[in-house]
Chain A
């Protein structure tokens, strides 16, 4: 058969199909018509289960005037509804925290040092120089470290290998190590002996400004201690291509599990307020060991006690999820890594919150701005900028208690240091890099020579911006609580659910005969009283509007 003719026939046939009497309602053309019961079932199934019914399900409702309530309840109780709610919240929250979680300080590279011999090592130039000298480009040699031995302090013994442009360099051998990411305990990999060191602490001698015993699992240990390697089972390091995707996947799943809780069990507002979070093996390992190894130029994900007591789960327990109770400023999904790392600035966190849960969007002004500051750093005063930032900045301050580009809670951080030196000593060993990462200089108006270092989120916390400090102290939970108590959260959720199910925006033109604002307000009030998302969905799909075809 001629191919194009075959397609033409298909088109004509399908066109005719649309004129089917099953949809024409007795040959009349009303503006709105009730759909056939089977088609209603199909619509409901697509919306609530994400797929179409089968023939047996169509047959089960044949001849009925309306879809039975128990069928609707069954759909709402179906696991597919949970998945649909996940999709809905993913579109709302963009749950893809695609970010770099490892860097040269603890990401392992591989090198083929002899035919068929692959070794793992940390490729940080600082580490390479510290361990082996030279220009910082050399890894170990193809010998078991047992053949070379260890010195009295336990450091691997080395052999001179050569001289490069910088100077002489040496090399140690390798050790067979079982890495934490391998489920099979018998499986080992070859790791350069310096990197394979299992020491948990190192000691800086008296006389050193940071004298004392410090831990190896910290970013500041990377360039400081020759005796620090990757720790037991390489716990402080990672094969980035293996571990990073697993941690990112887990962060996404962690947020979606909070969505499951809030959409399967009342109250729905727990989504924004709960202290409970879920963690699995990869997340526990990341929070316990790897989060504090990031260099300051990357995201900062230091674990704090307020993040919740971590269960004893090995990295390989990727499918084992355990609840933890967070404390302090934590508040629902708003302080989970998948939210904080997807929206990395306080402004973007506030903006996404405002869109998703307050139903409001920033738009540039349509009129000329006058009587405003033409330049300056304060965007709440600056022409044009201020039309958005006068709202955005106080809103962003709610999220300031979690560091930008990171998940680190700043609750336990000092708010201010009198100088850069004092700020640098806020951590041990002292680090200006650490200070610069979390604090910024804030000129003293009385004495410009004094430059106290304030937490970055608090630099504008002054008399001209009285909300900033209060919002910072309240955290995102205070913002969410106000929207929940005031009903805005429920109004916006009702409207969004209406749009998802009706495939259109509600008519909010009060002068229109089709005005739907009162209806939605009433449903939102009901929703606020019961806080059950399934009941809200049930209410909406039972509206006559839902059963009609355009």
Chain B
């Protein structure tokens, strides 16, 4: 498990760093509201010689602060994971189940996850704690398994939630799998990726690892479905799902 947490720590670090470290040569678009005057980088150096101002330091209007990012509340997490998971073949919403209750409800882990009852706890922490990660992992694995099993029962591929664009009978091409991954990233994270996006091969590696983990028949899922389940868990556990 420690390797897993290393990966997740790297992921969190990336979130903190926030953006691609390559230089930004052009100016941000000006704000329509009255902002302070642009700050001009001096074009005369300390040695008195004229020189071109570095493009990334070029003058421009400073946009006001952006919206910040917070982790989802437990109510939102419960609703969002269930919505992304979709319905089962009978039309009932797929939910994380624990002892017959919704895992996020107060009858299961809702309070442990920090849902306030306004008596003993009065506010919900926005911290992504180890406990939160553990329960999200549990929920993800349960929901993704249900999604995969229900999809296997669906004969109309277009009605599938987890692999509508790539068959799991061994006939799916690389292009099919890439298309399905793009579909999943849109469904889970609200990102419409182009085919060359580096996220696709990374998720494809997760898919391949999952598919390769099924070495003998008779498991709960066939190899390709196991691959999609792995991708599903990765997408559910990504900060892109939880933080907005």
Which residues of A are at the interface with B, using a C-beta cutoff of 8 A? 1, 3-24, 27-33, 36, 38-39, 41-43, 46, 50-55, 58, 62, 87, 90-91, 94-96, 98, 342, 501-504, 507, 513-514, 516, 544-550
Contact of A11 among B7, B189, B192 (CB under 8 A): B7
Contact of B238 among A17, A52, A549 (CB under 8 A): A17
Known: A18-B11, A42-B244. A11 touches B6 (CB 8 A): yes
Which residues of the other chain, B, contact A29 by a CB distance below 8 angstroms?
19-24
Chain B positions 177 through 215: 1 when the CB is less than 8 Å from some CB of chain A, otherwise 0: 000000101110111111011110011011001101100
Q: Which residue of B lies closest to A99 (CB)?
A: B119
B186 neighbours in A (Cβ, 8 Å): 38, 55, 58
A315 to B187, CA, bound (A): 46
A28 touches B190 (CB 8 A): no
Contact, CB under 8 Å: B65 / A514? yes
Query: Using Cβ atoms and an 8 Å threshold, which residues of chain A touch B199?
Result: 16-17, 19-20, 22
On whether A30 and B83 interact (CB within 8 A), knowing A1-B209, A55-B183, A514-B64, the answer reads no
Instruction: Please tell me which one of the listed residues B123, B185, B193 contacts residue A91 in the complex, with CB atoms under 8 A apart.
Output: B123
Any A CB within 8 A of the CB of B112? no
Given A16-B202, A95-B118, A52 and B239 contact (CB-CB distance below 8 Å): no
Q: Judge whether B67 and A11 touch: CB under 8 Å.
A: no
Residues of B within 8 A of A502 (CB): 67-68
Tell whether B100 is near chain A: CB-to-CB under 8 Å.
Answer: no
Expressed in whole angstroms, the minimum distance between the Cβ of B185 and any Cβ of chain A is 8
**For the side of the interface on B, what is the size category?**
35 or more
- B2 adjacent to A503 (CB under 8 Å): no
Contact A546 B67 (CB under 8 A): yes
- Closest chain B CB from A342 CB (angstroms): 8
CA distance A268 to B128 in the complex (A): 34
Within 8 Å by CB of B192, from A5, A13, A62, A516, lies A62
Query: Given A24-B19, A545-B65: A13 and B190 within 8 A (CB)?
Result: no
With a cutoff of 8 Å between Cβ atoms, the chain A residues found around residue B66 in the complex are: 32, 545, 548-550
Distance A423 CA – B162 CA, assembled complex (angstroms): 74
Complex Cα spacing A513 to B63, Å: 10
With contact pairs A42-B190, A513-B36 given, residues A21 and B197 touching in the complex (Cβ less than 8 Å): yes
User: Per a CB cutoff under 8 Å, which of B69, B118, B122, B230 touches A6?
Assistant: B230
A-contacting 9-mer, from B43-51, B72-80, B145-153, B167-175: B72-80
Question: Residue B15 at the A interface, CB < 8 A?
Answer: yes
A342 vs B122: C-alpha distance in the bound complex, in angstroms?
12
For the complex, give the distance between the alpha carbons of A147 and B221 in Å: 69
Q: Provide the bound-state CA to CA distance between A322 and B194, in Å.
A: 55
Say which residue of B36, B190, B212 sits within 8 Å of A1 (CB atoms): B212
Asked if A32 contacts B244 (CB within 8 A), the reply is no
Q: A11 contacts B230, CB within 8 Å?
A: no
CB distance from B116 to the nearest CB of A (A): 7
- Taken together as a complex, chains A and B put the C-alpha atoms of A20 and B239 apart, in Å, by 13
Partner of A14, one of B28, B76, B123, B234: B234
Any A CB within 8 A of the CB of B217: no
**Residues of B at under 8 Å CB distance from A?**
1-11, 14-15, 18-26, 28, 31-32, 36, 62-70, 72-73, 75-76, 79-80, 83-84, 116-119, 122-124, 183, 185-187, 189-194, 196-199, 202-203, 205-206, 209-210, 212-213, 230, 233-235, 237-240, 244
Closest A-B pairs by Cβ, 10 of them? A11-B7, A7-B4, A1-B213, A548-B66, A42-B190, A16-B202, A504-B68, A51-B79, A96-B118, A94-B118
Give bound CA distance, A30 to B116, whole Å: 37
The distance from the CB of B193 to the nearest CB of chain A, in whole angstroms, is 5
- For residue A43, which residues in chain B have a CB less than 8 angstroms away from its CB? 67, 244
Considering the chains assembled together, what is the distance between the CA atoms of A3 and B238 in angstroms?
A: 18
Once bound together, how far apart are the Cα atoms of A12 and B13, in whole Å? 12
Which residue in chain B gives the minimum CB-CB distance to A498? B67
- Shortest B158–chain A CB gap in Å is 11
A41 to B244 CA separation, bound complex (whole angstroms)? 11
Could you say which of A52, A504, A516 has the most chain B C-beta atoms within 10 Å of its C-beta?
A52
Give the residue of B15, B24, B193 whose beta carbon is less than 8 angstroms from that of A18: B15
**Inside 8 A of B205's CB, which chain A residues have their CB?**
9, 12-13
Give the CA-CA distance A333 to B73 in the complex, in Å: 25
A421 to B23, CA, bound (A): 86
Residues of A within 8 A of B69 (CB): 503, 549-550
Taking A5-B3, A11-B9, A550-B67 as given, write out 17 further A-B residue pairs in contact, using a Cβ cutoff of 8 Å, ordered by the A residue number: A4-B2, A6-B209, A6-B230, A7-B1, A12-B10, A14-B8, A14-B235, A16-B199, A18-B239, A20-B191, A21-B198, A28-B20, A30-B24, A38-B192, A39-B190, A504-B65, A550-B66
A7-B3, A13-B234, A502-B68 known; A32 and B197 CB under 8 Å? no
**Docked complex Cα distance between A52 and B191 (Å):** 12
- Interface CB pairs A-B, < 8 A, 10: A5-B3, A15-B7, A15-B11, A36-B191, A42-B190, A42-B244, A98-B119, A545-B67, A548-B63, A550-B68
Closest to B211 in A: A1
**What's the Cα separation between A55 and B124 when bound, in Å?**
29
**CA of A24 to CA of B18 in the docked complex: distance in angstroms?**
9
Smallest beta-carbon distance B77→chain A, Å: 10
Measured in the bound complex, the distance between the Cα atoms of B30 and A544 in whole Å is 11
B7-A10 in contact (CB<8A): yes
Question: A94-B122, A513-B62 in contact; A4/B24 too (CB < 8 A)?
Answer: no
Q: Is the CB of A28 within 8 A of B25?
A: yes
In whole angstroms, what is the CA distance A31 to B239 when docked?
20
Q: Is the CB of B239 within 8 A of A22?
A: no
Given contacts A15-B10, A16-B199, A32-B66, contact A50 B28 (CB under 8 A): no
Instruction: Report B-chain residues with C-beta under 8 Å of the C-beta of A28.
Output: 20, 22-26
Is B193 a contact of A9 with CB atoms below 8 Å?
Answer: no
Question: Nearest-CB distance from B128 to chain A (Å)?
Answer: 13
Partner of B3, one of A4, A24, A55, A516: A4
Task: Specify which chain A residues have a CB less than 8 angstroms from the CB of B9 in the assembled complex.
Answer: 11
Contact B191 A8 (CB under 8 A): no
Contact A52 B84 (CB under 8 A): yes
Knowing A11-B10, A502-B68 are in contact, say whether A46-B20 is a contact too (CB < 8 A): no
Residues of B within 8 A of A8 (CB): 3-4, 6-7
Task: Kindly state the separation between the CA atoms of A27 and B79 in the bound complex, as whole angstroms.
Answer: 34
Cβ contact within 8 Å between A501 and B7: no
Contacts of A1 in B (CB 8 A): 209-210, 212-213
Do the beta carbons of B191 and A12 come within 8 Å of each other?
no
Report the separation of the CA atoms of residues A546 and B66 in the bound assembly, to the nearest whole angstrom.
7
B75 cross-chain contacts in A, Cβ below 8 A: 50, 87
Task: For residue A84, give the distance in angstroms from its CB to the closest CB of chain B.
Answer: 9
Shortest Cβ distance from B13 into chain A, in angstroms?
8
For B27, the closest partner residue in chain A by CB is A30
Q: Whose C-beta in chain B lies nearest to the C-beta of A83?
A: B75
CA distance A46 to B69 in the complex (A): 12
The smallest C-beta distance from B104 to any residue of chain A, in angstroms, reads 13
A32 & B28 in contact (Cβ 8 Å cutoff)? yes
Q: Give, as a whole number of angstroms, the nearest-CB distance from B118 to chain A.
A: 4
Report the Cα distance A548→B202, complex, angstroms: 26
Closest CB of chain B to A316's CB: distance in Å? 25
Q: Shortest distance in angstroms between A94's beta carbon and chain B's nearest beta carbon?
A: 4
- Kindly provide the distance from the CB of B208 to the nearest chain A CB, expressed in whole angstroms: 9
